[in-house]
Amino acid sequence: MDMTHALLHEFHKIGTLPQNIIHLSQLINNENTTLEEIEDIIRIDPVLTAKVLTLVNSAYFGLNRRVDSISRAVAFLGLKKLHTIAITDAMSNIYRSPVLNRSLNPELLWIHSAASAICCKLISERIFARNGDEVYLLGILHDIGLIVESQTCPQDFLQVYEQWNPINEPSLPSLESQILQTDHCVLGFHLVQAWNLSEAIAHGIRNHHTVDENIAPHSHTGILQISNYLINNLGYSIKPGASKLLSKSISHHLHEYIDEYKTLADDLPEEIDSIRQLYTQ
């Protein structure tokens, strides 16, 4: 077994990922699933039920009337939003798990991921006039491979994290390859494939550190790279000084839409704060 699969095998044994969230993802991405099946999987999990109802009734959605049943919550949110809520909630718990404490500050990883998700969604909707729910998921999940590493080989991960200097070479994935014989992009790619998420999400995770002229700005990977570039420059990085190298085509695109991106960057901190509050209730 290669190192990637050995670490993933170990990660599954630890059982960090809530099975109901994986099951929910698989159901939502299967076109034969009925709404009743989705509702049932939420109802058998009292914590998820409570969370979905709390979120639907939070000030964020600004509803006049209280939603007090799962079937109404599902009808109100729609499946895509329900999916993003369930995954964001699961990730907010995992990213903050104390296991990470000795190396990567879990709060930093959570804020980096949430900021990336929101930024991806805004880019998709404002710049490319497309629904942003799927790239939001890509943003929240893109660094999940770091969780796998930190939980399955904490010592080696600590070494990687301490040696990594974001301003100089080697890049994080090449340092991981040297020390761990795999990297968080490959780990994340294999991990989410088992959830039936789209190929575009899986490939976005795999390529998020790859600088390649063939990555189009409007693709999932392109949007994630632009998002990480913006949020790292705004200070939402996992290590101070971390930025992202951009391909020429993506830099060119950023310059072309510079005014739109400036407005987006101005709006980001407030959007990030509201998500932060929503998931720390």
143/149 with CB nearer Fe ion: 143
Binding mask 242-281 for Fe ion (x = CB under 5 A): ----------------------------------------
Least distance CB 209 / Fe ion (angstroms): 6
Least distance CB 112 / Fe ion (angstroms): 9
The three-state DSSP-derived secondary structure of 69-81 is CHHHHHHHHCHHH
Is residue 183 part of the contact set for Fe ion (CB under 5 A)?
Answer: no
CA distance 190 to 183: 11
- Token output for 150: 């930190």
- Token output for 32: 């034969």
113/124 with CB nearer Fe ion: 113
Is the distance from CB of 257 to CB of 96 less than 8 angstroms? Answer: no
- Token output for 255: 């310059």
At 152, is the secondary structure helix, strand, or coil?
A: helix
The residue number with the shortest CB distance to Fe ion is 143
Least distance CB 6 / Fe ion (angstroms): 21
45/143 with CB nearer Fe ion: 143
Least distance CB 228 / Fe ion (angstroms): 7
Is the distance from CB of 91 to CB of 62 less than 8 angstroms? Answer: no
Which residues in the 133-152 window bind Fe ion by CB under 5 A? 143
Residues in the chain: 281
Least distance CB 145 / Fe ion (angstroms): 8
If binding means CB under 5 A, how many residues of this protein chain bind Fe ion?
A: 1
- Token output for 180: 């761990």
CB atoms within 10 A of CB 54: 12
Least distance CB 87 / Fe ion (angstroms): 17
CA distance 25 to 202: 14
Least distance CB 3 / Fe ion (angstroms): 18
70/238 with CB nearer Fe ion: 238
CA distance 202 to 180: 21
Residue 21: alpha-carbon gap to chain centroid: 14
186/264 with CB nearer Fe ion: 186
146/268 with CB nearer Fe ion: 146
Type of residue at 216: A
**Could you identify the residue written with the tokens 């189009």?**
216
- Token output for 72: 């109404």
224/272 with CB nearer Fe ion: 224
CA distance 144 to 187: 8
**Could you identify the residue written with the tokens 């058998």?**
44
- Contact positions toward Fe ion, by CB under 5 A? 143
